[in-house]
Amino acid sequence: MSREPSEDTAPAVVTVTGAAGNIGYAALFRIASGAMLGPRRRIALRLLEIPAAVRAAEGVAMELADSAFELLDSVEVHDDPAKAFDGASFALLIGAKPRTQGMERADLLQANSGIFGPQGRALNEGAAEDVRVVVVGNPANTNALIALSHAPDIPPERFTALTRLDHNRALAQLAAKAAVPLAEVSRVSIWGNHSSTQYPDIFHARAGWLTGEQLAADRAWLAEEFVPAVAKRGAAIIDARGVSSAGSAASAAIDHLRDWALGRDFALSQSPTGSALSQSPTGWGDDWTSVALPSPGAYGVPEGLVSSFPARSVAGEWLIVEGLSINEFSRARIDASVAELVAERDAVRALGLV
């Protein structure tokens, strides 16, 4: 890594890949408006696209200029990862190769390694020392694994994958079920892969006065309605909109990086209902969020696998919530999702991609 950590007074370099795509378009304006790094941090945006979409990304850059964001220091458009990641403190890796009809998993992983391998190397060479990476492009967990394995000089825990959208979906579903405001729902966990095998765990949750055990008492509802509703919400959105989630995915990526960099105190200070919780030393109270990060071997997840855990960001680092009891219902589902991640990791290993 070539650069010193960025200072608060200097603009933060934020690199967004897939910048002309749906999620990129939904994310960039909010990042430039201060939703991610707060109302005082200036931002230098670097947009990375494939050559065929550079013109479209330049159009997005024109619209960003036309929005006259006071915090927006500069916008550059690149098709070269080395230039796009130079000095980056934040990287949203959104652009990825979608699965097309008839494509095998190995083909998908191979195609994405052609994106996330070089991007990992470019981050390794040029990113700022304090770089934080969130992989959004699917298969997000394994793409993050590929990227970090090409970035030996960056601590692996700086590479994360997005399961905050799944977390937010679970919060919304639970608030609706318990008929309480969303701000009264806490302690939900997403485990495993950002895929249909993911496991949204509510056994430790709270919704208003209801405890996790009370919420989960109806096991048929839990197994047949809640878990699939969260895991398959992406497909339901495609069914309704005709295109995949973009606004909610962008919003979740921004939540993820904001909490990671600034902590929960900051998020709550901006929220209409958060003032009481922000009295706790870390700002999290007894709440947490969900993040896919390289496993330290916690909760039986093999070390190094990029898997989703309940976590809190404290002083700029994600800390996995320790000591949660895992019952049989949860164990079976966590193990199934982790088995899928192991299979993906073994496939990329067999192809020599990590």
Interface with ligand NAX includes 246 (CB under 6 A)? yes
Residue of 12, 14, 16, 20 that binds ligand NAX (CB under 6 A): 20
Binding of ligand NAX at residue 94 (CB under 6 A)? yes
The number of helix segments (H) and strand segments (E) in the chain equals 12, 14
Measured CA to CA in angstroms, residue 201 lies from 136, 184, 191, 222, 268 at distances of 21, 17, 7, 9, 24
Count of residues interacting with ligand NAX (CB under 6 A):
28
Distance CA(275)–CA(285), nearest Å, equals 11
Q: Which residue is nearest to ligand NAX (CB)?
A: 21
Residue 197 is a binding residue for ligand NAX (CB under 6 A): no
Which of 31, 48, 261, 341 binds ligand NAX (CB under 6 A)? It is: 48
The number of residues in the chain equals: 354
CA distance linking residue 188 with residue 329, whole number of Å: 15
Report in angstroms the alpha-carbon separations of 12 from 38, 42, 345. Answer: 11, 6, 33
Please, are residues 81 and 46 in contact by the beta-carbon 8 Å criterion? no
Q: Six-digit token pair at 57? A: 């990304």
Shortest reach from residue 58's CB to ligand NAX, in Å = 13
Least distance (Å) from ligand NAX to the CB of residue 179? 27
Catalytic residue among 78, 150, 167, 194: 194
Active site residue 194: yes
Does 96 participate in binding ligand NAX (rule CB under 6 A)?
yes
For the record, the structure tokens of 160 come out as 């994360």
Q: Quick one: which segment of 18-26, 172-180, 202-210, 272-280 binds ligand NAX (CB under 6 A)?
A: 18-26
Out of 53, 91, 108, 210, name the contact with ligand NAX by CB under 6 A.
Answer: 53
- Say whether residue 110 binds ligand NAX (CB under 6 A): no
Whichever of 160 and 330 has its CB closer to ligand NAX, that residue is 160
User: Which of 2, 5, 39, 50 touches ligand NAX by CB under 6 A?
Assistant: 50
Residue whose CB is less far from ligand NAX, 97 or 158: 97
- Structure tokens of 273? 């209902």
> Applying CB under 6 A, does 117 fall inside the site for ligand NAX?
no
Residues 296, 320: contact at Cβ < 8 Å? yes
91 binds ligand NAX (CB under 6 A): no
Task: Report the run of H or E that residue 160 belongs to, with start and end.
Answer: strand 159-161
Do residues 287 and 309 touch, judged by C-beta distance below 8 A? Answer: no
Smallest gap from residue 105 Cβ to ligand NAX (A): 14
What is d(CA 200, CA 4) in angstroms, rounded to the nearest whole number? 39
Among 43, 136, 229, 341, binds ligand NAX (CB under 6 A): 136
Closest listed residue to residue 89, CA positions, set 23, 10, 25: 10
Question: What is the closest distance, in whole angstroms, from the C-beta atom of residue 218 to ligand NAX in the complex?
Answer: 27
For residue 9, what are its two tokens? 């007074």
Write out the residues near ligand NAX by the rule CB under 6 A: 17-18, 20-24, 48-50, 53, 94-96, 98, 115, 136-138, 140, 162, 165, 194, 234, 244-246, 249
> Which residues participate in catalysis according to the annotation?
194
